[in-house]
Amino acid sequence: MKLRSKFAFLIAAIIVIPFFLTVIISYGVFLLRMNDDEVNRQSEIMHWMVRTFHKTRKIEDIYYVLDNIPEGLDVIILDSWNMVLVSSISNITKGTIMQPDDLLARLSRDYPARSHLYDPSFITGPENAKLFFSINLSSIEFAAPLHIVRGIYLLFFILLLSSSVTGVMILGSFRTSIIRLEQATRRVAKGDLDFKLEPRGKDEIASLTRSFDSMREQLKEEYAKRSRFLMAVSHDLSTPLTSIKGYIEAIKDGLAKDPVHLDRYISIISDRADLLETRISELIEFVRMETGEWRLRQKKVRLRDFLNLVISIFKEDALIFKRRFIPEIDVPDIIFVTIDRNLLLRAMENLFHNAIRYTHENDEICFRAVPGEKGMQLILSDSGEGIEEEELDHIFDPFFRGKKLDNHKGFGLGLSIVKSILGAHGWDIRVESEKGRGTAFFIMIGG
């Protein structure tokens, strides 16, 4: 069922249900109105009782009541000696002496379908008269329902009107919001992101509108990032490729006639080809990490064993590049982690090679594993050049390269890939550095 059909169905339900209830009640009122004789009799009884006995408080006035008692009502009055002064019931004659309780019991026995009322202080004073009413229930059974029905009739009429107006207003507002979202969705589908969708109100639709506009902003930023990404890739790939083509053209034009120049040109071409290969590999790795086109081959391993493997690799690299490597592992054997060992090892090697790149011969590189506030913590620190303070907030950003890295072989994606790999394992990383005093990376190991 389409949303518009659902709206129509809901509006119909809001309007039709009260309408039919009102019709039913109205029909009941119509039927009851057919018993006007009974209703009028009941009304007459009530008015007579109020008019006669609320004003008649003298003993000499009560003898007139039998002249105009309405049908369906009987009256009995006892004097202070419990003698019947007035009676409209044939089998209870005037002059009979009866106790009030006995009279009520007799009325209840002889006339069980009636309602019997008793006022023991109808007339106070020396006479002390007592008043009894015996009302035929068949005369009043339509009275209370009629008033109730009329009230219900009015109630449902108000319900019909208010629910109709309220329903139409709410659903109209809801439909307007949905139409705005639908139009915005179509604009996004066509690639138009240069608009803003303002929420109206504070309900769920407004929350959905805010979420949609936030998605539009993020999508717009992603498109901008993609454009910057393509520009950066085009530039960084075209530079070595242009150089390779230039030297090949030089060789073809005979500019490298002697073996010395030829070897030099071929060496440059090879170096540029290696640079191109490095950048393409780094780019592929970055795209795989960012798009999720990879799956962790995770296994549960002892953390100490993994770190010992990392240390053995670091030792060999430090020996080759003439750095002083200082490991310090304080990890209990009972600690296990679930990791993709090869992927995580690649991230650790990337961090270590960064430390080698920014240090000199005989500089110190330390690798420690110590307990942290929320688990184990790995710290890779060096005594190298350090990082500029304004660059610290951007070193994990894709394509970011510091001022001294303009000629670096990669795209500036290394630390971004490291952060993605660690994040995929539930780990986190932060950096501290001071210019001229070295850098330290802190890795917080997750569960």
List of the chain residues with pLDDT < 50: 1, 34, 139-144, 406-407
pLDDT value, residue 143: 43
pLDDT value, residue 32: 54
398: Cβ contacts below 8 Å, ≥ 6 apart: 229, 286, 290, 411, 412, 413, 416
Tell me, yes or no, whether 343 and 375 share the same domain.
Answer: yes
CB 42 within 8 A of CB 71: no
Tell me, yes or no, whether 214 and 77 share the same domain.
Answer: no
Tell me, yes or no, whether 438 and 308 share the same domain.
Answer: yes
Tell me, yes or no, whether 336 and 440 share the same domain.
Answer: yes
On whether residue 81 sits in a domain, the answer given is: yes
pLDDT value, residue 73: 82
Cα torsion angle, 101, 103, 106, 108, sign:
negative
pLDDT value, residue 142: 42
Residue 232, domain CATH: 1.10.287.130
Domain's final residue, options 257, 273, 291? 291
Tell me, yes or no, whether 135 and 173 share the same domain.
Answer: no
Is 423 strand, coil or helix? Answer: helix
pLDDT value, residue 174: 73
CA 309 to chain centre: 46
Tell me, yes or no, whether 225 and 106 share the same domain.
Answer: no
Q: Which amino acid belongs to residue 205?
A: I
List the domain range (segments joined by +) for residue 316: 299-444
pLDDT value, residue 125: 57
Residue 367, domain CATH: 3.30.565.10
